[in-house]
Structure 1
Amino acid sequence: MKAPTTDQAPKVLILKTGTTYPEIREQYGDFDAWFVRGLSDQLDLTVVDVTRETPPGQPTDWDGVVITGSPAMVSERAEWSENAAAWTRQAVEAQVPVLGVCYGHQLLAHALGGKVGFHPDGRDTGTKQVTLLDTAQNDPIFQRLPAQFPAQLTHKQSVLELPPGAVLLANSSFEPHQAFRVGDSAWGVQFHPEFTDQIMKAYLEVQTPDLDKEGLDAPQLLAEVTPAPAASKVLTYFSELVTDRLVSA
């Protein structure tokens, strides 16, 4: 990735929407640390925990926005979450590049008029195959990914209906809405590009008692975990898009 030709690094705001399990945090750090690792080190990153404080300034103060996953549920419509949704909607309207991941993907859809709720078939977790649709061929981020690739997933809620005008980019056998774009600056991905395979395994280990209760095969899911480098490229390509837009502005 080329260094920006501007004097200032692109300013990207990471909206942290919760925290991971304590035992995972102790070993691997928290959500924001995983995004900091996956995004370009040429970005000027700021992390704000929106469960504790409001997003700083106006969306146009930032060159890009990333929204993390969360143990919360968008359908609960907590005050902090609704405030973050309203701020995110303003960012999209202002054409500030936005990337929402898992909860962030669902929050983005909700903010723009989509429907979010519990998946009718329950939990989705582990390494799964994501398949691109023909619409991805012209997408600034997804056109650079393989037609099918493994990705790390863990969620109970999903985007049940896309926002009006959204372009569906990818699906999987379990999840019809794995990725979408609104306009030319906002993306939502249900999968976790910030997860390593070690983090995915740690999630499955913590979740094992619940997986057993839900009739899922935890040992099999653990055995099927693989690295997902193509999925992680979403963070690389989003970083490049933010940088290129700042340079060309």
Structure 2
Amino acid sequence: MKIGILITGHPPDELMQGGTYDQYFERLLQGHGFTFQGWPVVDGIFPDSVTDADGWLITGSKHGAYEDHDWIPPLEDFIREAYDANRPMIGVCFGHQIIAQAMGGRVEKFSGGWSVGRTEYEMDGKSVAINAWHQDQVVEKPATAQTIARSDFCQHAGLLYGDRIWTIQPHPEYGADFIDGLIRTRGKGLVPDALLASATDLLAHPTDSDLVARKMAAFFKKERA
């Protein structure tokens, strides 16, 4: 199964040793039998068709879904086309947000502030720990979506659109090393010091990224009519 990765941002220059964002997802989903191809839509480079891959994944980004960028309207069009064509799609962080916006939901810079580092969410009746790094969030979900993950801070942390789209706000592809790098290179002066200190204290604690990766792989492979 070929997964097309729509790359909507680039890592900070100081953290490029980990590769580009599509490579983070290739590592996360390795061992599940997928092949991958990335398209840097943030640079205006799009697939020719939603049929260019069997499934699609939209990455995170430093940009806001509500910002005025030339590549955002065609990305929203692509999301709706993929949905209509019944091509499975997964969105993470910005991907989660831009899909919700394209499908009729609302995204905003959350007045409650930031979520950074290891964060616990309620998912499938269990507490699941995943790394987060965001202030923007989905504040109104689309009518076609149901909420499948939440926290006290983020009420729509995961959304499911039938068997066509599965999205999540936090970053299962980020390990402690990348969060540590963001704290050091992006966090100071942007995120409150107390939140950065708390996130730093939790860097050594395990997350459930492998569990989330299995959920993502199962969603892509699910049989559809």
TM-score of the superposition, structure 2-length normalised? 0.91
Secondary structure in 1 matching 2:51? helix
Report the residue type matching 2:200 in the other structure: L
Distance 1:122 1:204 in 2: 16
- Greater helix share, 1 or 2? 1
2:161 alignment partner in structure 1: 182
1:131 alignment partner in structure 2: 122
1:116 alignment partner in structure 2: 107
After alignment, is 233-242 or 41-50 more displaced?
A: 233-242
Report the residue type matching 1:29 in the other structure: G
Percent of paired sites with the same residue: 27
Which has the larger Rg?
A: 1
Report the residue type matching 1:39 in the other structure: L
2:180 alignment partner in structure 1: 201
2:215 alignment partner in structure 1: 237
Question: 5 Å matches for 1:143-154?
Answer: 147-154=126-133
1:161 alignment partner in structure 2: 140
C-alpha deviation, 1:74, in angstroms: 0.7
1:23 alignment partner in structure 2: 14
Pick one of 178, 189, 202 that aligns with 1:224: 202
Pick one of 4, 28, 33 that aligns with 1:13: 4
Report the residue type matching 2:85 in the other structure: A
- The answer to which structure, 1 or 2, has the higher relative contact order (CA under 8 A, 6+ apart) is 1
C-alpha deviation, 1:173, in angstroms: 1.9
Distance 2:189 2:49 in 1: 40
Distance 2:84 2:115 in 1: 31
**Structure 2 stretches lacking a partner, 5+ long:** none
Distance 1:57 1:243 in 2: 23
Q: CA RMSD in A?
A: 1.9
TM-score of the superposition, structure 1-length normalised? 0.83
Residues 60, 194 of structure 1: alpha-carbon distance in 2 compared, 3 angstrom cutoff: same
Pick one of 53, 63, 69 that aligns with 2:44: 53
Distance 1:217 1:158 in 2: 17
Secondary structure in 1 matching 2:188? helix
Report the residue type matching 1:173 in the other structure: D
C-alpha deviation, 1:14, in angstroms: 0.3
Residues 170, 240 of structure 1: alpha-carbon distance in 2 compared, 3 angstrom cutoff: closer
Deviation string 1:86-129 (CA, Å, 9 cap, x unpaired) is 10111112111110000000010011000011011122211111
**Structure 1 stretches lacking a partner, 5+ long:** 1-9, 137-145
